[in-house]
Amino acid sequence: MSAAAADVESPNIQVPNQTRLLLDLQRVNKIAQRLSGCLEVEPTARMVTDGLVDRFGCAFARIWVVEPDQTALRLVASSGLYTHTNGSFARVPMGAYKVGKIAQNRVPFLSNRLAEEAWVKDRDWAIANNIRGFAGYPLMTGDRVIGVLASFSHSAMAAEFLEVLQVLCMTATIALDAALSVEAKRHQGTVALVQPTLSDQLATLLKTTTMALVGTETVLPASLSHVFVQLAELLAEVHCDYARLVYGADRVALEAIAALPAACGAQGANETVAQWRSRCHRLRFMATCLGGGLQTQPGPQQMVHIALQMPYTSEPAGAKVSVQCTTALVQAALTGMAHAAGLTVCDPWDADAVVITDSEPIALEAARTVWVRVRATPPSLVQAVIDWTVEVDQLRQVVQQVSLGQTVEATPSAPVQPRPSEREREIMALLARGLRDRDIANRLYISESTVKFHINNSLAKLHAKNRYQAVYQAAIQGWI
């Protein structure tokens, strides 16, 4: 992600709430699904700003697009406190105010002291309307800025809200860029209502990569397209030799082969590999939220095989479910499983949804609860109990029965697993943070061979085939 300036009120560094981030990504997905097929600039932008107000509680939100001459930005959508687009900020010169600076410098910005910012045109207005938070993000495609999204709030914004805006802006940029292209052709007297295909977008990003298209190309919702585009942007930063976009019967996949810098080389190469792993983890997280998955398989000579698979978006017909777990990995796994089961994944406050949780306070407040047996004993009032051995079909049946008011007997507990040592817990926790064997050894003041010894023991105890599975199982079973 681009560097972002943030005004942090507390000197204490806060750990991002991964569960809240996942729920916010689900809201972004619902906004993104509305953009599919829309090729009008103003309606597209307004659906995004309306979504920020309706789903995220922003006081108001606005989108500007860069004018063809690149000298100013034009306000095309405004929702919430102000809905007009013809006021004093209808046209903002490039580099003027914070919106113009975000477009010029391409740096996201977040502040929770709006009235105290020197660039604010009317501080009395901010105070009178109790506008406290501001977050702005550039809308970028490749190295080109096409606009700026800005949101205002009455309360302080969390720093990780910029992460949410990043995902939303990727989706909005794809839709707005297509709409602006159509608008430009209309002004030239040529009407072309063909939305850019995913293969066209990927080919633009992967200019030096040998590409292949398999199957009949289908127009995808922007919520799916932006995941593929983000992977393509990542692949474009390394040497990607080959990529293949495959349209199957029920899903679309992007397979690629890329070469990473040598892990044992210069410090810059090490940092590049670490950034690659971090961004792949984030992509895997988002893909799981949408019911898909991302797999990476290392090969010889620092080559890596990447496969991103996403199901075609369709409105689920299954029972409503709200996943509210305390651990990010459990939350992501059950959310992906709920999508695979054809269930309708809802927001936390949906009263008609069956709640899947491992939190006793949440379970006690919910009307219908499926308890996830991870660490704690299930409360007495839950309607069903599942554990980490549950299959997709079982989850579907349990949720459907609970939604009908039935109580389901607890699924069998998993066999008792060997208990981990404290050292194994420490090492698995550091693995989960993306550290390499050498970094773990330095952190714990032990040798790399000792690290490998404990990892191999952990794989055996967790019945895992590789380290990724081990980290996942360690989180599920409460090791970390």
Ordered by start, the domain boundaries in the chain are 5-187, 202-311, 320-403, 422-476
Q: How many other CB atoms are there within 10 angstroms of residue 5's CB atom?
A: 10
Q: How confident is the model over 55-104, as pLDDT tens digits?
A: 888 999 999 999 988 899 999 999 999 888 888 889 999 988 889 999 99
Q: What is the pLDDT of residue 159?
A: 76
Cα–Cα distances (Å) from 290 to 162, 308, 314, 359, 437, in that order, read: 20, 12, 11, 23, 32
DSSP character at residue 327: S
- CA atoms of 334 and 19, how far apart (whole Å): 12
Q: Quote the CATH superfamily of domain 202-311.
A: Histidine kinase-like ATPase, C-terminal domain (3.30.565.10)
Which class does domain 422-476 fall in?
Answer: mainly alpha
158 three-state secondary structure? coil
pLDDT over threshold 60, residue 2? no
- Around 357, how many Cα atoms within 13 Å sit in the side-chain half-sphere? 21
Domain covering 5-187 in this structure, CATH number? 3.30.450.40
- CA atoms of 202 and 380, how far apart (whole Å): 52
- CA atoms of 192 and 74, how far apart (whole Å): 23
| Residue 425 φ/ψ, nearest 5 degrees | -60, -45
The pTM for the full model equals: 0.53
- Residue 211 identity (one-letter amino acid): M
User: Is it true that 202-311 and 422-476 share their CATH fold?
Assistant: no
- CA atoms of 285 and 378, how far apart (whole Å): 27
DSSP character at residue 280: H
- CA atoms of 336 and 40, how far apart (whole Å): 32
Closest CA to 158 of 20, 62, 328: 20
Cβ atoms 209, 232 nearer than 8 A: no
Q: How confident is the model over 200-242, as pLDDT tens digits?
A: 888 888 888 888 888 888 877 777 788 898 899 888 888 788 8
Residue with tokens 């490998």: 452
List 310's β-bridge partners, or say none: 252
List 213's β-bridge partners, or say none: 245
Q: How confident is the model over 442-452, as pLDDT tens digits?
A: 888 888 888 88
Q: What is the pLDDT of residue 5?
A: 37
